[in-house]
Structure 1
């Protein structure tokens, strides 16, 4: 294919995706306006998409979320035959394990700290929901920080990278299964945050099948006129922090702040992350 044909094919692809790109850009623009108007009332959750303490500041850096070229797909054969009913670990334990990797457990702390407990929990199979997405985040941090010692290696060799990629594929294949279940249940509100977090994280590490066109349509519908995401029928400003609480649906609630009109800073944040992934996908696919 000569250069003229390559240019033509690229322009045709962009043109075909232009309506979707415009929709995504418009949604991101509205979300940005929302953040600008409420920045003084946001929790750090609402900025990064996770419960990030001040000690998690590395994850807020732009280079941490540098995207890699290339796409891959999940594998349904990797879906767990049985998933645990309850989360494998709580939020505090997750934070502790992330902090040990980042080296932010104290000033000038050593990164890539390995503990038997964190290794066992973060590499456990059959975990559901937020435990699963945090396991994926743990692998992302290992890769970013070059923590080869977690796998018993002295440096990030090809074997270490293969281990990380294998875990990513297992985790995202199961996160895909969870999202399909949520879709089959007509996207109940209490699962939309988890759905968006899965799209954001697995899309970030290159699983293109998370960027389904039909999912984008749902996400765009969930956005409120104010630019935020959250529960449409809530009103009034009621900041609250919700610990991991087990419900009859076996789902745990995230710490988040609910703003005027039912806007959720955490849900808005992960929605922005998911939409940003769609922007990349439609702009490069």
Structure 2
């Protein structure tokens, strides 16, 4: 069954690349799709499970953002965090900036050998975005995603192999602190919780492989195999957006309509994709440690 799923996914990617080929490499979406054709580099760069890599960052402050301590003692209000989820200033990584910086990875030459890293093709605009502060919520996870795609798909580094590795540790440490905060506050933004685990667990950090977290994720899946965002998150996010657009009744009607549509959906696309990745991490972790267990002969 798993092999069948893999083959179907390969067919979907190949078909998607094929139908967009006419746009060429000048098209951002076509460039993004091409990144996923060859998965050899991704398989080769899967990180081994590790303990303690995040330790030096977990109880320290840095310039990543100013709210880590408030998250650690869960004094940060939920609505304040939701503002981070929605807000993008010039120091945050805009979704369009993230997509662009991911898409240009395809311009890097293919690695000569998958066991070694080469320097990424320089782009000062993206370099500054990926190393700027502050970073919270999606801005934080998309900085890491950009760096990991370079590292794991094209086997290249932005600064140096050592500095990039340290930066990945730093970002995942702060993502872990956010993940713990979300868990302790009742998993009030499921998509964000899932995204942090999905991305950082690829690096083998055992901090992200918690049985109770995997069980919680499983509890969100209904009998049809679908998952929805936390309804309170949908209500509160829409409430914040309505306040932002207090003088625009057309936009307010649109926001209310979108909320109704989201609440009626049984399957929310982005959380569904993340759930599959998160559960794959859980299976890999379980299989890894089951293989180390010696069962007595009967």
**TM-score, normalised to structure 2's length?**
0.60
Provide, for residues 118-159 of structure 1, a one-character-per-residue CA deviation record: whole Å limited to 9, x for no partner.
Answer: 1111012430011111111121122232334x32xxxxxxxx
Match of 1:168 in 2: 168
Q: 1:137 and 2:145 equivalent?
A: yes
Match of 2:209 in 1: 211
Query: Is the alpha carbon distance of 1:134 and 1:232 closer, same or farther for their aligned partners in structure 2, counting shifts above 3 Å?
Result: closer
**Mean Cα displacement is larger for which, 213-222 or 123-132?**
123-132
SS at the partner of 2:59?
helix
Task: Give the Cα–Cα distance (whole angstroms) in 1 for the partners of residues 59 and 215 of structure 2.
Answer: 28
Query: Is the alpha carbon distance of 1:178 and 1:248 closer, same or farther for their aligned partners in structure 2, counting shifts above 3 Å?
Result: farther
SS at the partner of 2:50?
coil
Structure 1 unaligned regions, length at least 5: 1-24, 45-51, 105-110, 152-159, 234-245, 251-256
Higher relative contact order (CA 8 A, sep 6+): 1
Cα drift, residue 167 of structure 1: 0.9
Provide, for residues 159-211 of structure 1, a one-character-per-residue CA deviation record: whole Å limited to 9, x for no partner.
Answer: x22112101110000001111111121111xx101110111110011111111
Task: Give the Cα–Cα distance (whole angstroms) in 2 for the partners of residues 68 and 118 of structure 1.
Answer: 25
**TM-score, normalised to structure 1's length?**
0.62
Task: Give the Cα–Cα distance (whole angstroms) in 2 for the partners of residues 248 and 64 of structure 1.
Answer: 44
Contact 2:51 2:206 in 1 (8 A): yes
What pairs up with 1:85-164 in 2 under 5 angstroms?
Answer: 85=84, 86-87=87-88, 88-103=92-107, 112-144=120-152, 145-148=154-157, 150-151=158-159, 160-164=160-164
Match of 1:47 in 2: none
Structure 2 unaligned regions, length at least 5: 18-27, 69-83, 109-118, 232-239, 245-260, 290-298
Task: Give the Cα–Cα distance (whole angstroms) in 2 for the partners of residues 211 and 165 of structure 1.
Answer: 20
Cα drift, residue 53 of structure 1: 2.9
Provide, for residues 13-66 of structure 1, a one-character-per-residue CA deviation record: whole Å limited to 9, x for no partner.
Answer: xxxxxxxxxxxx9xx9xxx7xx99xx9xxx99xxxxxxx933212443433542
CA RMSD, 1 decimal: 3.7
Match of 1:82 in 2: 66
